[in-house]
């Protein structure tokens, strides 16, 4: 399965921790060029830069993660 591509439009960073499972992550820059495509496994942590789009694609065994998104205007 795949988590649909997403991005933050308010100049936030996204920090993602892979809790368990494995798969692939793809990050695309604002110019539409792929800047990262790699395999990830449980225990991996990665940061998606501002204005970049990220997709997470799970292997057959699935993948669990959580993300923290920063914001320039905390409430």
Q: Where are the domains of the chain?
A: 2-69
How many CB atoms sit inside 10 A of residue 36's CB? 14
pTM of the model: 0.80
- pLDDT, residue 75, reads 64
Where helices occur in the chain by DSSP H, the ranges are: none
Better-scored residue on pLDDT, 20 or 8: 20
Q: How many CB atoms sit inside 10 A of residue 48's CB?
A: 23
2 — alpha (psi -120 to 50), left (phi > 0) or beta? Answer: beta
The per-residue pLDDT for range 22-53, each reduced to its tens digit, is: 999 999 998 999 999 999 999 999 999 888 88
CB-CB contact of 32 with 51 (8 Å): no
The CATH homologous superfamily to which domain 2-69 belongs is Jelly Rolls (2.60.120.10)
């Amino acid at each position: 399965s795949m988590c649909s591509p997403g991005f933050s439009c308010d100049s936030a960073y996204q920090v993602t921790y892979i809790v368990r499972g494995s798969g692939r992550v793809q990050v695309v820059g604002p110019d539409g060029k792929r800047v990262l495509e790699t395999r990830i496994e449980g225990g991996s942590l990665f940061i998606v830069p501002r204005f970049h789009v990220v997709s997470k694609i799970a292997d057959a065994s699935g993948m669990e993660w959580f993300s923290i998104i920063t914001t320039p205007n905390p409430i």
